[in-house]
Amino acid sequence: MIIDSIDNARLYDGIGKGLQAAFAYLLKTDFAKIVPGRHDLDGNNLYALVQHYQTKPREQGLWEAHRRYVDLQYVAEGVETMGYAPLGSLRMTKAYAPSDDFALFEGKGDFVTVSAGMFVVFFPEDAHMPSLAAAAPAPVVKVVVKVAVA
C-alpha cells in the first residue's frame, strides 16, 4: 500500500508504466467535467472508474482484494476513510471470482483518512475497505484507476 498526495505522483514513476500512465491521467484530468462511470485509457489494461457517492459508516464496510488489478484510488473531492490489512491476516468469506476480480474477507486492519488531492495504491496483496465516512457520511468524488498486473 502507498498513500500520498497527488502532488508527489512523479516520485512513483519507477514502479511501472501502468501506474505512471494512471498518475498522468489523474494529473491532467479535471474531474469536475468528467461524468461518472468507466473511462477506458487502454482497454482492460488500464481504465478509470469515476465515482460520486456518499461515504458509509465503518460497520457497513467490507474487506476486499483483487488479483488482476492494482487499485489506484484518488479522492478528487471530499474526504473518506479507507481500511488496509495484509491479505494474509484476514479470513476469506467470499471466494475469489475471476469474472469480478475480487474476494471478500473479514478481520481487523488499520484505517487512514484520505482527503481531496490524496491517493492510495492497493496492490493484490493488500485487502482494503474503501468508501468509509471520516466523521459522518458525506459526498465524495473518487477515481479508481484499475491497472492490470499482467
Spatial contact of 147 and 19, defined as CB atoms under 8 Å apart = yes
Torsion of CA 30, 31, 32, 38, to 10 degrees: 140
> Rounded CA gap, 15 and 9, in Å?
11
How large is the average pLDDT for residues 43-66? 97
What is the separation, in whole angstroms, between the first and last Cα of the chain?
Answer: 18
What is the chain's mean pLDDT, rounded?
A: 96
Residue 58 confidence class, pLDDT cut points 50, 70, 90? very high
3-state secondary structure of 100: coil
Question: pLDDT at position 101, please?
Answer: 96
Spatial contact of 75 and 116, defined as CB atoms under 8 Å apart = yes
Question: pLDDT at position 126, please?
Answer: 97
How large is the average pLDDT for residues 4-29? 96
Torsion of CA 67, 131, 53, 143, to 10 degrees: -50
Residue 121 confidence class, pLDDT cut points 50, 70, 90? very high
Per residue in 98-120, pLDDT tens?
999 999 999 999 999 999 999 99
* Domains of the chain from N-terminus onward: 2-148 (2.60.120.370)
| pTM given for the model | 0.95
> Rounded CA gap, 94 and 103, in Å?
5
